[in-house]
Structure 1
Amino acid sequence: MTPIKSVTDFVKVILEWPVSKTSVVSYRGHGSVDFRLTPSIFRKASTRENEHILLRELIAAHPEDFDRDTSALEMLVRMQHFSLPTRLLDVTMNPLVALYFACETVKKRVTLPSGKTQTQDMDGHVVMLRVHKGRVRYFDSDTVSCLTNLARLSWSYKRKIDTMLEQERFNDSTPIKRLLHFIRQEKNGFLNEIDPDDLDSIILVKPKQNNKRILAQAGAFFAFGLVEEIDASNTDGIKVEHIVIPAAAKSDILEELDKLGINEKTMFPDIERAARYITGTLSSGDAATKVVLRRSPK
């Protein structure tokens, strides 16, 4: 593939990819090609093993922020918004948004043949995830409830889940009974049945568009069960492809995206980020012009 040096190069690649009626395409941008498709909760043993505590601690500290949340998914989305590790992996339905995040500056210490080390700017990449429609669910899905309520289950219970059991024995096991208890707190009529295969899956979730950041970033989420990573080689129903963004091209691409209205202020629609973006434009000497031009027409 020809190296991506501009937004035009990137859009050309996206438009050349075939469209399938049986799949949904989502995108994720990584500032480094070393980053993996793993939710933040699974990246450290300390967070993986204390997931249920992290959730409860944040809600206990800020209950007013969670008052309107009626499901585990909504709580996890809010936790993700506040940068707490969760079992959700956020993606976007807009490839240009993914390109913006792929242009994040990431540095890495590398060892030269001489034995000396130096800091190197990393290439980024946009990951295209083509998901079979059978793996796509909406916010009120029973399967989504099963996966997201795993976050409320203690590590000792999660370790005892055996998805190889026959379904009746599986649902009669103590960890699953506990999981069913949590699910019924948000869905009173949920049946006493969970398909073991559901807990071994990864699904693309279309959430409620009731969050400014989700709206701004055309956001969606992958909800993970007991699987901890999307592996391009063996994750059923999810096809993964990459577009590499050279480190040397990142700055120019960000300037082009800024002209298209994709920048820190629009991707993170809160007053702190807007203030930081506006302050940053002062270095170019035409901050006032930029701010006026980006106002929506009346």
Structure 2
Amino acid sequence: MCPNVFRNDALKYEFDAIETAIRQRPYDFRECASDFEILTKLQHYGLGTRLLDVTLNPLVALYFASEKCEEYVQGKDGRGKYIPRDGKIAYQYSYGHKLTELEVRIACALPFIDFAEDLAVDGLLEKLYKNGIINVDEENSLKENDYKRFIQVIQSNSFVVSAHSNERLTRQSGAFIIPTAIKIIKDSGSNGSLLVRKARCDLDDAFEKIHLLFHQRRKKLSAKN
């Protein structure tokens, strides 16, 4: 389960693609109150983002699992291909994060930050503060224990139940998983000086179990016999 922006080379152009879309169609985004709302609108328009669509309704999940579909599988070289799949349901028991929570605000802000070659942990935290994503108290809190909490935040996923702002989200009881997907390049220095990079992300591990529907299990049993 890989969000669109992590497929092929799309991650390289994440910042530029978002900036271009907003610059070309500013009126489409003027009512968006947060980075999250901008991302959901971009996703709705078909731009690849780091949002992974999920549903709160098991019947909706069952419907899509019953449909023929293709799953994107990424190889070791970063390239991927689509393989026919059906009957797969991934689920998770979890409470949704609020859009105002620190982890969600940071996760949603990362696509809007241009990651320079020399961007380090302390520099990323400073950008989040200067961009108004976090306040000074939150910045100081994330600096504690040599940035350990901040590093944990930028390497986690958030489950968000959005306002159903369009017909598709309403009809499908839509929600999203938002990965941060930040790679820390370790060296012998302090945590604050460690370089950070955007990294590809597969969210299979975000779900507790994957079930196969009966007709797919039957195919496997027939193949064994």
What's the TM-score once normalised by structure 2's chain length?
Answer: 0.69
Distance 2:92 2:30 in 1: 33
Give 1:137's match in structure 2, choosing from 92, 97, 100.
Answer: 97
1:39 and 2:8 correspond: no
Distance 2:172 2:70 in 1: 25
The alpha-carbon deviation at position 125 of structure 1 amounts to 1.3
Distance 2:172 2:45 in 1: 16
> What SS does the aligned partner of 2:32 have?
coil
1:175 and 2:124 correspond: yes
1:48 and 2:17 correspond: no
1:198 and 2:149 correspond: no
1:148 and 2:95 correspond: no
CA change 1:54–1:245 in 2 (3 A) is farther
| Structure 2 counterpart of 1:230 | 203
Distance 2:163 2:30 in 1: 16
Give ranges in structure 1 of 5+ residues lacking alignment. 1-36, 109-119, 162-169, 250-298
CA RMSD of the aligned region, Å? Answer: 2.8
Superposition pairs for residues 15-30 of structure 1, below 5 Å? Answer: none
CA change 1:189–1:126 in 2 (3 A) is same
Distance 2:84 2:139 in 1: 52
Distance 1:190 1:81 in 2: 35
Post-superposition Cα deviations, 1:236-258, rounded to whole Å, max 9, x if no partner, equal xx4232233647x9xxxxxxxxx
Distance 2:91 2:161 in 1: 17
Distance 2:151 2:70 in 1: 41
Superposition pairs for residues 243-262 of structure 1, below 5 Å? Answer: 243-244=212-213, 246=215
Distance 2:129 2:43 in 1: 24
Runs of 4+ in structure 1 off by over 6 angstroms are 187-190
| Structure 2 counterpart of 1:211 | 166
Post-superposition Cα deviations, 1:150-198, rounded to whole Å, max 9, x if no partner, equal 00112436x845xxxxxxxx4xx2232123323x0x6667732442211
Give ranges in structure 2 of 5+ residues lacking alignment. 72-82, 143-149, 183-200, 219-225
CA change 1:144–1:127 in 2 (3 A) is same
Q: Check the 8 A contact 1:79/1:86 in 2, yes or no.
A: yes
Counterpart AA for 1:220: A
CA change 1:225–1:122 in 2 (3 A) is closer
1:80 and 2:43 correspond: yes
Distance 1:201 1:243 in 2: 27
The alpha-carbon deviation at position 139 of structure 1 amounts to 2.0
Specify the structure having the higher radius of gyration (Cα): 1
CA change 1:153–1:66 in 2 (3 A) is same
Distance 2:176 2:127 in 1: 25
Instruction: Provide the identity percentage.
Output: 26
Distance 2:97 2:27 in 1: 28
Give 2:28's match in structure 1, choosing from 41, 65, 68.
Answer: 65
What's the TM-score once normalised by structure 1's chain length?
Answer: 0.53
Superposition pairs for residues 99-110 of structure 1, below 5 Å? Answer: 99-106=62-69
